[in-house]
Structure 1
Amino acid sequence: MSPLEARYRRLLAAYPRDHRARHEEEMIGVLLAGARFGRTRPYSIDAARCASTGGEPSVRSPRRPGVPGWRSPWRCGRS
């Protein structure tokens, strides 16, 4: 595991465990694909987004009608 991947995994710890179990590998893949070759630290915008939206799936996102238990992991607004 690269230092960058390890740092991204630490940032993703802000997300609920069940969300990480389902989506962590995909999220890591997207983050690593967007990073420049040789980079060892996450981009500051990625770190800020992980920190600010980590609680969104379980705390602030509304349930989608018709899908029990579904919560959007990408909701950015604070309502």
Structure 2
Amino acid sequence: MKKVFKTALFTLLALFYQSVAFAQCAMCRASVENNVANGDTSIGAGLNLGILYLFVMPYLIAMVIGYFWYKNAKKKKAKIAMH
């Protein structure tokens, strides 16, 4: 039970700490700074969300595959234990 609580707490803290994760490469930063200098601030926010989307997707896919792998392994283990 303690392990589940610690995992849930860590997950919540990681979700609330995401504002620090907003970052851009040098070219993207120069583009955003140029647009901000011209008065357009909406591109920077969209770019940050796009970067976070691209960052999260591979980890999300890996977690889903890992979940199904674990579920399948658990099912096989239970099947072997019954014999």
TM value normalised by structure 2: 0.30
Tell me which of the two structures has the higher relative contact order, counting C-alpha pairs closer than 8 angstroms and 6 or more residues apart: 1
TM value normalised by structure 1: 0.31
